Amino acid sequence: MKKILVTRPWVDAITTSQKLENLGFATTVCPLISLNKIKYNLENKFDPDLLIFSSKNSVRFFKGARYINKTVFSIGEGTLKELKIKKFKKIYNADGNAKKILEKFDENYGKRKLKILHPCGTNIKKDFKDYFSMQGSKYLQLPVYSLKKQVKDPKLFKDFFENNGKIVTLFSQYTAESFIESLYKFKLDKIQNEIYIIGISKSILVYLKKYKFKDILISPKPNEKHLINILKKKF
């Protein structure tokens, strides 16, 4: 039975683990990042024309009941699902990255100057800010949760590899960074050439390509379904 390390935060890791167990894999759930709610005070004067959600966690941590009739842009299927749970109705769904969201915005709004609210995590990249700075819309980033690189259970992490675990799933570049730091911290870097990395996005490949893993496989689309399909085909 192939052993797989599931490294995403608990709320999603349990679901992923169950799906993999049902396929006959043996999973070890060991989150490598923690998420924490941020208290925020959204100015009442800022009434957005639309909202952007670039992660499912931004939907979970955002108190957005009064915005459910606003137009929203979703980064992908997981975020779309969370938005529907929260009863958002007017949703443009992209295909898994910031570039696709901005392409959809340009396709639907072009040069229109709008007020845009972007609930996000503290690790948000500059793509959106740079784009809207040039486009001319009033864009407000609102951090609603923080991320921290943290191995929840160091012994579990080490035991996985010491007991011949070879397959690691990574669901974000930030998690990949935490994984590398943990390998070196626990002196496991010498076995990296025995480890298979299964990543959800190309940014993970770009970050990890300087390391000497046995193989790095990237999901053709950045979602859980396609990542699991890689595992089914490869192992």
Count structural domains, the chain.
Answer: 2
Pairing of strands 115-121, 138-149: parallel
pTM of the model: 0.90
Say how many CA atoms lie within 13 Å of 235 toward its Cβ: 22
Query: Domain check: are 12 and 109 in the same one?
Result: no
Query: Domain check: are 17 and 42 in the same one?
Result: no
- Among the candidates 122, 147, 172, a domain finishes at 147
Query: Domain check: are 114 and 179 in the same one?
Result: no
Query: Domain check: are 59 and 129 in the same one?
Result: yes
- What string of pLDDT tens digits covers the 235 residues of the chain? 899 999 999 989 999 999 999 999 999 999 999 999 999 887 667 899 999 999 999 999 999 889 999 999 999 999 999 999 999 999 999 977 888 999 999 999 988 999 999 999 999 888 999 999 999 999 999 999 999 999 989 999 999 999 999 999 999 999 999 999 999 999 999 999 999 999 999 999 999 999 999 999 999 988 999 999 999 999 9
Query: Domain check: are 140 and 117 in the same one?
Result: yes
- Among the candidates 99, 121, 147, a domain finishes at 147
DSSP 168-181: EEE-SHHHHHHHHH
- Among the candidates 129, 147, 165, a domain finishes at 147
Range of the domain at 57: 36-147
Query: Domain check: are 182 and 216 in the same one?
Result: yes
CA distance 217 to 87: 35
Q: Residue length, the chain?
A: 235
Residue 136 sits in a domain whose CATH number is: 3.40.50.10090
Query: Domain check: are 27 and 40 in the same one?
Result: no
Query: Domain check: are 20 and 58 in the same one?
Result: no
